[in-house]
Amino acid sequence: MKTTLSTSSLDAKTRFRVQVKHAVAIGPGKADVLQAIAETGSIAESGRRLGMSYQRVWSLVRAMNGDFIEPLVLTQRGGSAGGGAALTARGEEVLAIYRAIERDAERAVTKRLPQLLALIRPDAGVDS
């Protein structure tokens, strides 16, 4: 399992991604998609809310549904009654676990990042 943590002292935002095997990953984008679907009940509205295309949201949902032991999102096609999307119990569980990992990572970063930043030159990363 590979984990990636990226953070910026400028915006104090930590982004945490968990990657298992070659491509199975859950990160902030997929977690935000799950959260938006839970809140809106709609793939299209989730895309609008997140600034993603409908196709991109669908792509992420298909990837997650295929990568986990059970689907995370159930969808219903549109029609006279309208379509919709909802998290499965497994989807709710995955989202809750990921958000807990984010909180844990944020606590660790908050504790240790100042020590690391104190050791970095102020002009580091600036093009000469």
d(CA 57, CA 59): 5
Decide if pLDDT at 126 tops 80: no
Residue 40 is assigned to a structural domain of this protein: yes
d(CA 15, CA 80): 40
Tell me 120's DSSP state.
Answer: S
Phi first, then psi, for residue 19 (nearest 5°) are -120, 130
CATH code, domain with 18: 1.10.10.10
Residue 128 is assigned to a structural domain of this protein: no
pLDDT digits (tens, 9 = 90+) for 15-72: 778 887 777 788 999 999 999 999 999 999 999 999 999 999 999 999 999 999 999 9
Angle, CA of 59, 88 and 35, to the nearest 5°: 60
**Of 38, 57, 61, 60, nearest to 48 (Cα)?**
57
Decide if pLDDT at 119 tops 80: yes
Decide if pLDDT at 12 tops 60: no
> What residues pair up with 84 in beta bridges, in sequence order?
76
Residue 125 is assigned to a structural domain of this protein: no
Q: Which pLDDT value is given to residue 100? A: 94
Q: What is the band of 11 on the pLDDT scale with cuts at 50, 70, 90?
A: very low
**Of 26, 9, 18, 14, nearest to 61 (Cα)?**
26
Place of tokens 């676990």: 97
Total tally of structural domains belonging to the chain: 1
d(CA 68, CA 2): 17
Tell me the residue range of the domain where 53 lies. Answer: 2-117
d(CA 67, CA 3): 17
Q: Which pLDDT value is given to residue 106? A: 87
